[in-house]
Amino acid sequence: MKAKVIIIGNELLYGRIRDTNGPWLAKWLDNQGIELEEILIVKDDEKDLLDAFKKAWASTELIITSGGIGPTLDDMTKGLMAKFFNKELIPSKKAEAIVVENYKYYDRSWTPELNTYHHIPKDFIVTPNPKGLAPGLVYQEENKMIMAAPGVPRELQAMAEEEFLPLIKDYFKGRFEKKYRTVIRTYRVPEEKIFGELCPTLWNDLSKFGSVSSLPQIIGVDIIITMSEKDATKNEKLIKEYIAKSNLAEHVWQWGNEKLPELVVKEALEKGIKFSFAESCTGGLTASRITDVPGSSGVLLSSLVTYSNDAKTNILGVGGQTIKKFGAVSIETVEEMVVGVRDKTGADLALAFSGIAGPTGGTPLKPIGTLALSWANKENVNSEVFHFSGDRERLKLRFSEMGLFKLLQMIRDY
């Protein structure tokens, strides 16, 4: 079963905001066993929108749109859907009841003077909005379905889960085919070297099990094999045996799809390990990524973001002489930082980051992208200087990823 997504909004096309609904719907449809063929981002423009509806309606089975169903004058999705399907916009008792209910959720009352939420195109289905005011709209005809959701992500998500999914399942009964993906995560070998030198037949050999893709990541390359769910157990076993005998074996650090922060929290929870960070150049990003994971309060004690040199001294106890002699971005400073945060917070494991994220502050010896990283358990302190490239935000992410990778290794060795 196939679907297309249409994301509507001018502000997405001049770069003011980033669309998050497309990626969310992509993952959500995949989980339902529905193949997403394309995501189209278009303007609030009559011609462009009608054209988008026309092309999608002619070429797929399910269309989900996001945006343009609110109360302001640039909200034109409803009107244009009515026009496209040649349906009159009419007041609907059912829509009115739903809108009144939506408003009640926010302790507000709806009147027809506020907006025309109660008008819907004839023959359309209207759905509640579990997290907002504007109702959803659905139209089905000739084994095809189009569904209009709001652009606000939490509203779209709740509407998709609670309102759209039952309608989809009912209308497209038995048409779903769940996919399974094996992810082979490799470490520090470039994509080209894997497929060119190390394992020249890898791509073709893996293609026997499903469709292969390769995705360079921050600390290595992910190789993904997508297959039908029914063959997954058998195939994954065969793939693992194949990889174990291949030249790639020693470069694989994980099978699976979990992000590093999720893995770190999961494996630390399993072993009852508590950790802390001292962050300078990463500025709290490492802690923020860890605290995005539910359950992280069981493993993260503290992260001391010591951005200024004074804070490194006052908060972490780094010697003023150390910073003066070796610089803030040095093995010597991060090793004092890591010991400081470990002992101050009573952590089992600790990381300390000091580096140069740019856009200024680089020197010939310590260019932008330099990271001094230290990792410690109760007995040992290790450290290394790394060099990465990228802009400020990218560098912060790479620095933090390298730290979490070292942390994961310490957790596994614990």
Find the binding residues for a copy of itself in span 208-227 (CB under 8 A): 211-216, 224, 226
Stretch that binds a copy of itself, among 40-48, 160-168, 231-239, 401-409 (CB under 8 A): 40-48
Quick one: angle between helices 77-84 and 46-59, nearest 10? 50
Question: Among 32, 22, 24, 23, which residue's Cα sits nearest to residue 2?
Answer: 32
The residue from 87, 291, 319, 331 that contacts a copy of itself (CB under 8 A) is: 291
The residue from 294, 379, 380, 413 that contacts a copy of itself (CB under 8 A) is: 294
Q: How far is the CB of 204 from a copy of itself (least distance, A)?
A: 8
Q: Which residue has the tokens 């026997």?
A: 208
23 lies in the site for a copy of itself, by CB under 8 A: yes
Longest dimension (CA), the chain: 78
Query: In the 8-state DSSP scheme, what is residue 411?
Result: H
Q: Which is nearer to a copy of itself, 257 or 363 (CB)?
A: 257
360 lies in the site for a copy of itself, by CB under 8 A: yes
64 lies in the site for a copy of itself, by CB under 8 A: no
Question: Among 280, 217, 219, which residue's Cα sits nearest to residue 406?
Answer: 219
Q: Which residue has the tokens 């993906």?
A: 181
Question: Among 405, 413, 349, which residue's Cα sits nearest to residue 381?
Answer: 349
100 lies in the site for a copy of itself, by CB under 8 A: no
User: Do the Cβ atoms of 402 and 371 come closer than 8 Å?
Assistant: yes
Amino acid in the structure at residue 86: N
358 lies in the site for a copy of itself, by CB under 8 A: yes
Structure tokens at 113: 């003077």
173 lies in the site for a copy of itself, by CB under 8 A: no
48 lies in the site for a copy of itself, by CB under 8 A: yes
Q: Which is nearer to a copy of itself, 39 or 252 (CB)?
A: 39
d(CA 353, CA 400): 8
Query: In the 8-state DSSP scheme, what is residue 298?
Result: G
The residue from 46, 101, 384, 391 that contacts a copy of itself (CB under 8 A) is: 391
275 lies in the site for a copy of itself, by CB under 8 A: no
179 lies in the site for a copy of itself, by CB under 8 A: yes
Provide the β-strand partners of residue 351. 277, 375
The residue from 90, 301, 331, 385 that contacts a copy of itself (CB under 8 A) is: 301
105 lies in the site for a copy of itself, by CB under 8 A: no
Q: How far is the CB of 376 from a copy of itself (least distance, A)?
A: 18
Q: Which residue has the tokens 């779209």?
A: 156
